[in-house]
Amino acid sequence: MMNCENPSSFVAAVGTATPPCPLSQERALALANEHYAAVLQERSLGLLTQFLCHPSIKTRYIAVEEIDQMPLLKTESPDDRISRFTRWSVRLAAEAGLKALDTAGIEPKSVSSLIVNTCTGYLCPGISTYLIREMGLAPDVRAFDLVGSGCGGALPNLQMGDSLVKRYGGISLCIAVEICSATYQMGDDPSLLVSNAIFGDGAAAAVVQEAPSRLGIVAIDGAYAPEYRDEVRYVHKNGALHNRLTPKVPRLIITAVPPFIERFLADNGLTKENIDHWALHPGGDKILSGLEQALCLTPRQRAASEGVLRDFGNMSSPTALFVLERLLQNGIHCGQHCVMAAYGAGLSMHACLLRGS
């Protein structure tokens, strides 16, 4: 049975932003050999080389002004790191947010609610308070900061924006921003080697409003498997964040996410065969290829997620919105369904059902 409920809130536009510094995987490998050959064990350097040479990622963007500053991350102090996180998170979040508003034809002072999520740095007051001034938002805007949701964070953000629109009306601006390079560590731990080969920096924003627009929000939901929390998370060591991605992560996500999505769709009277477009968070090549196979996606349905992974790497929470932006550029037609899904720390799983208007 098809879901006939008419959406009462809509995604009017999506905007994205990356730092100005592209880092090709070839250049990343050259930098690793130049600066870490004497630091890493031979086996570790071989693994890093293997990861960086994988064809699923070609380029990432790193929050520095120019590539020559990359070696400085090796000796970056904790104070310099949070300063860089602050500067770039505010800059990229504002850029993505203003792009989304401009696309939607909305003035910044018309935004009634602002929600910002991140997991790669902590500020008090939060990023949202910086953006009120940076973006020229109204001083009485409802402002919220969400932390700790990992790669899935954009969807709880969107869920909150949707709820605020339904409760108060008006316009929610939902911004996901991650400076993954602000958690950069190098060592023989395979988690760090994988992280250094796949993660990049970026921000993405979605405008949610009650006025009918491009995509109706039909439903948003999430689920958690906390028994696997230690398999994918950040841990603190000597006051610094270290990414933990155990070898179990791809299998756990490939096992848990498809049944979650199928239950989510069934709750809305749909099956995966009813879905025209998929905005899957790429995660990494093993995760993406496993989910594509489990969900029986066609090459056309896989293209947007594969393209974002290739062109930007895994940017954590903004990545799913980058994929949605690419789908919108290609065209989501009236009546077509789109599922946006993301997963990660927690272990968490989130899905959003959208319908072209």
Contact (CB, 8 A) for 106 and 227? no
Instruction: Report whether pLDDT(132) > 50.
Output: yes
Q: What is the pLDDT of residue 182?
A: 94
Which pTM was predicted? 0.96
Secondary structure, 3-state, 221-240: EEEECHHHHHHEEEEEECCE
Token duo for residue 49: 């080389």
Cα 131 to the center of its chain, rounded Å: 19
How confident is the prediction for the chain on average, in pLDDT?
A: 94
Lowest-pLDDT range of 117-121, 124-128, 229-233, 320-324: 229-233
Contact (CB, 8 A) for 152 and 93? no
Q: Mind listing the pLDDT tens digit for each residue in 263-273?
A: 999 999 999 99
Cα 320 to the center of its chain, rounded Å: 5
Mean pLDDT, range 192-208, rounded to an integer: 96
Q: What is the pLDDT of residue 349?
A: 96
Instruction: Report whether pLDDT(277) > 80.
Output: yes
Instruction: Report whether pLDDT(121) > 90.
Output: yes
Contact (CB, 8 A) for 116 and 134? no
Instruction: Report whether pLDDT(65) > 60.
Output: yes
Q: What is the pLDDT of residue 235?
A: 81
| Alpha-carbon span 23 to 258, nearest angstrom | 33
Architecture field, domain 13-209: 3-Layer(aba) Sandwich (3.40)
Architecture field, domain 214-356: 3-Layer(aba) Sandwich (3.40)
Q: Mind listing the pLDDT tens digit for each residue in 281-337?
A: 999 999 999 999 999 999 999 999 999 999 999 999 999 999 999 999 999 999 999
Q: What is the pLDDT of residue 3?
A: 46
E-strand spans in the chain?
10-17, 21-24, 59-62, 113-118, 142-147, 171-179, 201-209, 215-224, 232-237, 240-245, 277-280, 337-344, 348-356
Contact (CB, 8 A) for 198 and 51? yes
Q: What is the pLDDT of residue 309?
A: 98
Instruction: Report whether pLDDT(2) > 90.
Output: no
Lowest-pLDDT range of 25-39, 67-81, 290-304: 67-81
Q: What is the pLDDT of residue 247?
A: 85
Instruction: Report whether pLDDT(53) > 70.
Output: yes
Q: pLDDT: is 315 or 37 the higher one?
A: 315
Q: Would you call 12 helix, strand, or coil by DSSP?
A: strand
Instruction: Report whether pLDDT(1) > 50.
Output: no
Q: What is the pLDDT of residue 103?
A: 97
Cα 192 to the center of its chain, rounded Å: 19
Token duo for residue 64: 């520095």
Q: Mind listing the pLDDT tens digit for each residue in 143-174?
A: 999 998 899 999 999 999 999 999 999 999 99
Q: Cα angle at 179 between 23 and 143, to 5 degrees? A: 145
Numbered ranges of CATH 3.40.47.10 in the chain: 13-209, 214-356
Q: Tell me the pLDDT band of 4, cut-offs 50, 70 and 90.
A: very low
Q: What is the pLDDT of residue 5?
A: 65
Buried b (16+ CB within 10 A) or exposed e, 135-169: bebeeebebbbbeebbbbbbbbbbbbbbbbbeeee
Instruction: Report whether pLDDT(60) > 80.
Output: yes
